[in-house]
């Protein structure tokens, strides 16, 4: 059992249709961990490819649409800093949220999960072949966006459907 | 991201395995520092090893100085609970040093695949008799509040450390594609 597990999950009308272990956090997120666990400055690339200086006391937050999807097919690399081809039109964000749940074994609490959710509707008038998924976060200031994870997937986002795309971070004994 | 722990005795690696876990402090830190904190109504309280509590803020961050209160501590307790804030029973060996190491993981072509981050403390047994080690825990220093916080803990079968021997427990955080 890993100690910090990252998963992605897709739900159609509340029903889970895809649930997989994520490849990993990107090195952008790794550098944030470095900074926060060493109290040292690190350099991270934003989704525009610009190198930004991250100080350990810089803020980190969740953007309005944290989970992002795309059509790019390049194999995931540790230092990916953006989706290869993020879908920015033809879909509408319905909602997004972050919530946590306890993990219990019987009556004993053994961990927690953090769910990062963005729900989109496909209004492109055609099915969309989703080939990549990731989550983004804000750091330094709200104007800078960074990619925290990226995974290759194969999912058909049907026209007019409403689908929840999620990343789940699990910390447990 | 995976957490491992290992133990060297007199310089020889005698144990290396996946850690049982980060504990609740780490989960609270991750979710409140990285994913919006109070904006989503999360409980953002951490507990220091002295049981004092403090809230996670946007300035909360940890470091690993070579001081008396930070390190990979050793003990002879054998319980592990998600809400542990310290080792069950710390041993009073002589602390030699804390160190941190950051190591890239690359493939044969030099492509970066991930990174190891290792936190190590060296202890020497100068008690005059052998001791049994059954638990270790990673205690880091919170830079903004000057608190010391347990982030990970593991228990295992007894390891005997003879008088005059050194024991070198370490935690290793691994991110890898």
B122-166 pLDDT tens trace: 999 999 999 999 999 999 999 999 999 999 999 999 999 999 999
Runs of H (alpha helix) within chain B:
24-34
Across residues A79-89, what is the average pLDDT?
97
pLDDT of B166: 98
> Nearest CA to CA, how far is A103 from chain B (Å)?
10
In chain B, what is the straight-line distance between the N-terminal and C-terminal CA atoms, in Å?
9
- Grade residue B44 by pLDDT with cuts at 50, 70 and 90: confident
pLDDT for A8 beyond 70: yes
Reading the block at residue A33, the tokens are: 């961990």
The residue among B106, B115, B175, B176 with the most chain A CBs within 10 A of its CB, best to mutate, is B175
The answer, for A111 touching chain B at a CB cutoff of 8 Å, is yes
> Nearest CA to CA, how far is B10 from chain A (Å)?
27
Q: Do A34 and B100 touch (CB under 8 A)?
A: no
- Grade residue A1 by pLDDT with cuts at 50, 70 and 90: very low
* DSSP tag of B125: -
**Can you tell me whether residue B112 is helix, strand or coil?**
strand
- Listed in order, strand segments (DSSP E) in chain A are 4-12, 15-21, 42-45, 51-54, 60-61, 67-70, 91-105, 108-122, 128-139, 141-157, 162-172
- Listed in order, strand segments (DSSP E) in B125-165 are 131-142, 147-161
pLDDT of B35: 81
- Whole-angstrom Cα distance, residue A128 to residue A143? 29
pLDDT for A40 beyond 80: yes
> Nearest CA to CA, how far is B30 from chain A (Å)?
9
A91-105 vs A67-70, strand pairing mode: unpaired
Between A141 and A80, residue with greater pLDDT: A80
Q: Do B62 and A39 touch (CB under 8 A)?
A: yes
Reading the block at residue A152, the tokens are: 């290759």
- Grade residue B37 by pLDDT with cuts at 50, 70 and 90: low
- Whole-angstrom Cα distance, residue A73 to residue A85? 9
pLDDT for A29 beyond 80: yes
- The count of residues in chain A is 173
Average confidence score pLDDT of chain B: 92
pLDDT for A23 beyond 90: no
Least confident segment among A130-144, B31-45, B53-67, B82-96: B31-45
Across residues A45-63, what is the average pLDDT?
92
The answer, for B18 touching chain A at a CB cutoff of 8 Å, is yes
Place of tokens 């010391």: B148
The answer, for A14 touching chain B at a CB cutoff of 8 Å, is no
Give the chain B residue whose CA is nearest to the CA of A79. Answer: B112
Across residues A41-67, what is the average pLDDT?
93
pTM of the model: 0.90
- State the count of interchain CB pairs (< 8 A) between A and B: 131
pLDDT for B42 beyond 80: no
């Amino acid at each position: 059992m890993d100690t910090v597990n990252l998963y992605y999950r897709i739900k159609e009308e509340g029903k889970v249709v895809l649930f997989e272990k994520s490849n990993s956090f990107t090195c952008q997120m790794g550098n944030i961990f470095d900074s926060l666990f060493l109290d040292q400055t690190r350099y991270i690339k934003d989704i525009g490819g610009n190198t930004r200086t991250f100080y350990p006391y810089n803020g980190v937050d969740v953007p309005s649409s944290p989970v992002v999807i795309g059509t790019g097919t390049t194999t995931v690399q540790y230092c990916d800093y953006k989706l290869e081809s993020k879908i920015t039109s033809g879909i509408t964000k319905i909602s997004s949220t972050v919530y946590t749940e306890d993990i219990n074994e019987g009556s004993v609490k053994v961990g927690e999960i953090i769910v990062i959710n963005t729900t989109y509707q496909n209004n492109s008038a055609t099915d969309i072949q989703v080939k990549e998924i990731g989550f983004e976060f804000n750091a330094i200031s709200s104007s800078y966006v960074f990619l925290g994870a990226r995974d290759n997937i194969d999912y058909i986002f049907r026209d007019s459907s409403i689908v929840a795309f999620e990343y789940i971070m699990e910390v447990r004994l | 991201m995976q957490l491992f722990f290992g133990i060297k005795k007199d310089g020889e690696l005698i144990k290396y395995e996946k850690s049982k876990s980060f504990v609740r402090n780490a989960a609270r830190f991750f979710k409140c520092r990285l994913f919006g904190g109070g904006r989503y109504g999360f409980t953002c309280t951490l507990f220091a090893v002295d049981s004092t509590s403090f809230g996670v803020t946007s300035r909360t961050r940890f470091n690993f100085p070579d001081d008396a209160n930070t390190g990979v501590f050793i003990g002879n307790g054998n319980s592990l609970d998600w809400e542990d804030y310290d080792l069950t029973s710390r041993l009073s060996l002589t602390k030699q040093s804390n160190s941190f190491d950051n190591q890239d993981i690359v493939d044969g072509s030099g492509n970066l695949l991930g990174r190891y981050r290792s936190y190590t403390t060296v202890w020497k047994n100068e008690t005059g008799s052998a001791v049994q080690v059954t638990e270790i825990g990673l205690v880091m220093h919170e830079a903004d509040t000057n608190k010391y916080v347990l982030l990970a803990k593991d228990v295992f079968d007894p390891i005997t450390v003879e008088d005059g021997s050194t024991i070198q427990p370490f935690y290793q955080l691994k991110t890898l594609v």
